[in-house]
Amino acid sequence: MTHIVRRQVDNATTIDGAIHPVLQRIYVARGVTTTTELEKRLEQLLPYHQLNGLAAATQHIYDAMRQQQRILILGDFDADGATSCALAVTALKTMGANNISYLVPNRFEYGYGLTPEIVEVAKTYDPALLITVDNGITSFAGVDAAKHVGMKVVVTDHHLPGAELPQADAIVNPNVPGDPFRSKNLAGVGVIFYLMLALRSFLREQKWFAENNITEPNMAQFLDLVALGTVADVVPLDHNNRILVHQGLQRIRAGRARPGIKALLNVAGRNEYKITAADLGFAVAPRLNAAGRLDDMSLGITGLLTDDYARALSIAQQLNQLNDERRVIEADMQEQALEQLRQLSWHRLESCPTGVCLFDEDWHQGVIGILASRIKDKLHRPVVAFAAANAEELKGSARSVPGVHIRDIFQAIDAKHPGLISKFGGHAMAAGITLPRQHFQRFSQAFADEVSHGLDEDILKRIIHSDGELEEFDITLDFAQLLRDAEPWGQAFPEPIFDGIFLLQDQRIVGGRHLKMRVCWVAGQRTFDAIAFNVDLENWPNYRCEKVHIAYKLDINEFNGRRNVQLIVEHLESVI
């Protein structure tokens, strides 16, 4: 059952400045207390020199550039990894690194990160310096293997480290214990962006640009990549990340995005001049991710690197086709997962364990992360979906709910049951894991036990947090536009949701599963368009229902040059 809970706001807390009272309430509910926290100018970014490891990293890159040695960027197969890789390659080239290549492990052959196996492939490039982006912080064997064959290794990552660190020549990661950088929420693309900021400054001090007749690059040109990777990786949008995303969106809206991002927006049917953070997360990122899920992320990176729009568009169309294939695979896997839940009686939450593990021999390894997310949303429980990696191992992708730190859960299981897990890594809300096939049942039980240990049952309730009820005069185009202008909204800084009771004047199904409605303010005269996506067709339309309690986002529907307020319904229930 879904509960709508209104956010508690301390009415004594106010923010100085001319801020719409409803928007002020929204900001305070998200922990904002000063107008400084709302500033989104680049000057407000945390300075790069607060981040540890930059001095050693920049020195190694400079040495390789000065000696014209090959630099190899080792990426990752998701959108954060792809944007990180594209940013590193492009930024280094603009700074005069002419001998640079990149390598992305195919997830089906080599798995994640810097492994000894991928080092064997990296050797064929003959690099003097290997830089990881969005991976490497737990790649102990891979770092050792690279150094053993004479490579210098710089690790840039944002994932949580283990008890020990790899023996790299330099590590840049705000989550390394003791690092003073105040934003621990940088995505991988944010970390490499900060390293490139530091490198530009270092090269300036060395008079590199002047001596080599190179125009010093404006780092703002990379912010479209930073915005895309940050939103795609669903990292918390703290103040620093909001600045990065806002500035990247501004660049895209001004028509200054790179051809690859323009092309992805085109095939997704999005207007680049009116793009929102949600467009990056729900339209662009899935198409880019499709390359790493079903094929090879090198295709996506090539699209981000090209300066030729025609080529970028051709690649974007290939990515779009891969994303369509991914949707079909995902739909089949979701139906199989739901059938498993029915057979286990886990579709009834009272009999469902607090932590759920699912596996099918035929599931696609590249799609299990999305599957875990879908089932997590349905059950509101942490879920690990597994696929066969090979004859001996399973690979799992985990998604969690607020209040359950999934990587810490894996770490606790590993400590209590040595040898049960082969390897794991990730964040609070998402993580990956590998384990021997024969350990699946034992791990499933250990996972359910560990999640339930000391768990507050309220965490497992499906709750929609509302920013309260709007007055009728607030549901206007002007206020809807004000909310758009206040973005970026996202993880840990959620888009405002309101709730209220409305008269249901009209209802019909459109697009197969979406409920289109016309609702009227109970105590007023105005009516509004509303739409609820993917409704339960057994319950809706409900022609006996006269009143509905809805939780909704305020949106602007633009069609044929006309703009109207529209309520995007997150939850609805009939009111007797």
pLDDT per position as a tens digit, 76-119: 889 999 999 999 999 999 999 999 999 998 777 777 789 999 99
Q: Measuring CA to CA, which residue among 346, 345, 357 is closest to residue 443?
A: 357
Q: Could you tell me if 406 and 431 are in contact, meaning their C-beta atoms sit under 8 angstroms apart?
A: yes
Please report the pLDDT score of residue 561 as a whole number: 80
Could you give phi then psi for residue 501, rounded to 5 degrees? -105, 130
Contact between 393 and 435 (Cβ < 8 Å):
yes
367, pLDDT greater than 80: yes
Q: Is the pLDDT of residue 17 over 80?
A: no
The span from the CA of 341 to the CA of 548, in Å, is 30
Q: Hunting for tokens 């929204």 — which residue is that?
A: 26
Whether cis (ω within 30° of 0) applies to the bond prior to 541 is yes
Cis peptide before 488 (omega within 30 of 0): yes
Contact (Cβ atoms closer than 8 angstroms) between residue 148 and residue 170? no
Question: And the tokens for 427?
Answer: 């964040």
Counting every residue written for the chain, the total comes to 576
pLDDT category at 355 given cuts 50, 70, 90 is: very high
Cβ-Cβ contacts under 8 Å for 289 (sequence gap 6 or more): 78, 79, 232, 300
**From CA 14, how far away is CA 110, in angstroms rounded?**
52
Say how far apart CA 416 and CA 215 lie, in whole Å: 56
Its pTM surpasses 0.75: yes
pLDDT exceeds 80 at position 436: yes
- Span 241-265, pLDDT tens digits: 999 999 999 999 999 999 999 999 9
Mean pLDDT in residue range 32-50: 94
Phi, psi of 265 (to 5 degrees): -65, -40
Residues 74 and 135: beta-carbon distance below 8 Å: yes
What average pLDDT score do residues 135-151 get? 96
**pLDDT tens by residue, 192-208:** 999 999 999 999 999 99
Average pLDDT over residues 484-505: 94
Q: Which domains does the chain have, with CATH numbers?
A: 2-7+463-575 (2.40.50.460), 47-319 (3.90.1640.30), 344-460 (3.10.310.30)
CA distance linking residue 405 with residue 78, whole number of Å: 21
For tokens 């000057």, name the residue: 43
Contacting residues for 335 by C-beta, under 8 A, at least 6 apart: none
Q: By mean pLDDT, which of 53-57, 58-62, 483-487 is the weakest? A: 483-487
